Amino acid sequence: MSLADYADRNQLHRVGARPSLPRYLAEAWSRRDFAIAMAKYKIEASNQRNRLGMLWIFIKPTLNAIMYGVIFGVLQGASRPENFPMHVVIGVFLFEFFSTSMNSGAKSITGNGALVQSLAFPRITLPLSTVIQQLMTLVPMLGVMVVYILILGAPIRPEWLLVIPLVAIFTVFNLGVALIGARLTVHIRDLTQLLPLVTRILFYTSGVLFSIDRILAPYPWAVALFDFHPLHEVLSIARGLLMPGVEFDPVYWLYFSVWAVVVFVAGILFFWSAEERYGRVD
């Protein structure tokens, strides 16, 4: 009798074997409390290491908005979008959610090697925990962002409530990106060195600091391409909801929702297919 036959007869399963996708997701759901607790712990731990603690959640994007706003406000001159300070604040604060989710998620497996090697659990909970952590961080950031745009003259409107479903869709999109990045960095460790470059490229090409329609007005084909840029779509929707006099194409809701679902599903499948490899992180 072969070992495989013996294991099958006695209903023995290989340790670390990848379960079916439905079972894998069910196991991950059953450990959602672990993912949430880990996210809270990381927030508390990071705040304890800094003298200003939780204040850095607000200080960092605020300083970035001021710095980029001054520099790019001067460089753009008459090409600046209307209500430029609001434009920059919304762009910087929301892009921070994406960039931290992507970067932290990409390092969630390689950065927790001891945990991955010592315990048996669905590894998907690690990138999930990082995105939950960034979502928890985003909530107070949104409060500060709203205060800033009120100070800058934006009136409160019922449309502001639509930011809630927008953030929900954005979170799904970011989780998909985090899952893809988490697996890629397991296979290609040097990718972590390229993440800051990727982040900068996306930052400068998603309309965080400028108006796509104004800057690329001489190139209508380029403006049309940006209709399918997911980060440009989410920023355009947010600005249309929060800023007075700013309009966006309602079809962006559909486009970005499709992006979120496709990236999320692709991320789950891509990450799950390599589940057995994560336990061998060096």
14 lies in some domain:
no
pTM summary value:
0.88
Domain count, the chain: 1
Whether 207 contacts 92, CB under 8 Å:
no
Within-domain flag for 230: yes
Q: Could you tell me if residue 185 is inside a domain?
A: yes
Digits of tens for pLDDT over the chain (282 positions)?
554 454 455 454 454 567 889 999 999 999 889 899 999 888 877 766 666 556 777 777 788 788 877 877 767 677 777 888 899 999 999 999 999 999 999 998 888 777 777 777 888 999 999 999 999 999 988 998 999 999 988 899 999 999 999 999 999 999 999 999 999 988 888 788 889 899 999 998 888 888 888 888 788 888 888 889 999 999 999 999 999 888 888 999 999 999 999 999 999 999 998 887 776 544
Helix axes 230-242, 84-106, angle to 10 degrees: 140
Residues 6 or more apart from 234 whose CB is under 8 A from it? 94, 166, 169, 170, 173, 256
Q: Residue 47: inside a domain, yes or no?
A: yes
DSSP 140: H
Q: 238, 97 in Cβ contact below 8 A?
A: no
In a domain, 99, yes or no: yes
pLDDT for res 26? 92
Residue 201 in any domain: the answer is yes
136 neighbors 40 (Cβ within 8 angstroms): yes
Please give the C-alpha separations between residue 158 and each of 117, 142, 143, 247, in angstroms, as whole numbers. Answer: 49, 16, 16, 15
| pLDDT of the residue at 1 | 52
**pLDDT value of position 7:** 42
Instruction: Give CA–CA dist 102/144, Å, rounded.
Output: 22
The pLDDT value given to residue 237: 96
Domain that holds residue 118: 20-280
CA-to-CA separations, 271 to 124, 134, 241, in angstroms, rounded: 7, 20, 34
Q: Quick check: is 13 in a domain?
A: no
**Would 30 be classed as within a structural domain?**
yes
Amino acid, res. 212: I
